[in-house]
Amino acid sequence: MSQRFARLNSRFPRKRAFITGASSGLGLELAKALAGDGWTLGLFDRNLERLTSVEAALADAGVSLVAYPGDVTQADELTVAVNSFAATHDGLDVMINNAGVASAGSLMDISLEDWRWIIDINVMGVVHGARAAVPHLQRNGRGLLINVASAAAFASAPGMISYNATKAAVLSISETLASELHSAGTQVSVVMPTFFRSALLETLRGSDSARALAHTLMQQSEYSAESAAHDLLTASADGRTYIVLPKAARTMWRMKRWMPMRFLDQVRRMAQR
């Protein structure tokens, strides 16, 4: 068995992790990466067909896991699943709030229905996951909560207003929880990747032109979901609160913090090309 994440394994020798949005994209790569190091997994996803397929493939490979069909917008479903996993395995070490969707369009382009849809999944899904997991993480005295946001949380590119807003909310929630949970020994990390190849665009809501642009940007990316999974697990094991991926994107993060107006001007010019 591999030990690609030796530091994470050392911090959490019981190796118990729960992942939302686990049947495809980044969630699936996170599951495969942890499974390779012998972790016991709780996998949560609303796509029953994909989840069943992933469960069968990993179980056949000897992975210890429990699959939970459910929707992150339903607090009771997610809480029951997390509680069940923690009860079955005498605790929980790592919770990864990964489930998310995308949308594109300006303020007036996006319907109120689509605003509610993306907020329910991207924001409230993280809230529900954190509320379900935090009691178990606190009980351990050294838990890890990982919230997957996006570089959109700070880049605020035009034409992505609802997606930007939800990912900025995940960033703020994570920063707040990092302070609130510090005394309990629970680490909170927020992951902010730029475009990488994943299944995110399958659920994207927006115009045909917005979908085409997003597809082009994703296909042009040389960064993969597998690399993102490896990098975020390594960085979180090192104790980082802010995880901006890939490494080249950290220049954007620093520029936004140090020269915000210049950064926004640059983003605006890029969007106009």
Q: What is the pLDDT along the chain (273 residues), one digit of tens a residue?
A: 567 899 999 999 999 999 999 999 999 999 999 999 999 999 999 999 999 999 999 999 999 999 999 999 999 999 999 999 999 999 999 999 999 999 989 999 999 999 999 999 999 999 999 999 999 999 988 999 999 999 999 999 888 999 999 999 999 999 999 999 999 999 999 999 988 766 666 777 877 666 666 666 666 667 899 999 999 999 999 999 999 999 989 999 999 999 999 988 988 887 776
Chain Cα centroid distance, residue 51: 17
CB 70 within 8 A of CB 46: yes
d(CA 67, CA 44): 6
Q: What is the pLDDT of residues 198-211, one digit of tens each?
A: 666 677 787 766 66
Three-class SS state of 198 = coil
CB 104 within 8 A of CB 160: yes
pLDDT of residue 263: 86
Given the residues 68, 163, 223, 242, select the one marked as catalytic: 163
pLDDT of residue 215: 64
Whole-Å CA distances, 246 to 22, 58, 156, 197:
21, 27, 18, 12
Whole-Å CA distances, 145 to 2, 22, 175, 236:
23, 16, 12, 9
Which superfamily, per CATH, for 6-272? NAD(P)-binding Rossmann-like Domain (3.40.50.720)
pLDDT of residue 204: 78
| Catalytic (active site) residue 163 | yes
Phi, psi of 159 (to 5 degrees): 85, 5
Alpha helices in 70-181 (DSSP H): 75-88, 112-118, 124-140, 152-155, 161-180
What length does the chain have?
A: 273
pLDDT of residue 202: 73
**Long-range own/partner contacts, residues 174-177 (CB < 8 A, 24 or more apart):** 174/147, 174/149, 174/241, 175/241, 177/130, 177/134, 177/145
Domain ranges in the chain?
Answer: 6-272
Q: Among 77, 98, 111, 114, which residue's Cα sits nearest to residue 146? A: 98
Q: What is the pLDDT of residues 95-143, one digit of tens each?
A: 999 999 999 899 999 999 999 999 999 999 999 999 999 999 999 889 9
pLDDT of residue 1: 52
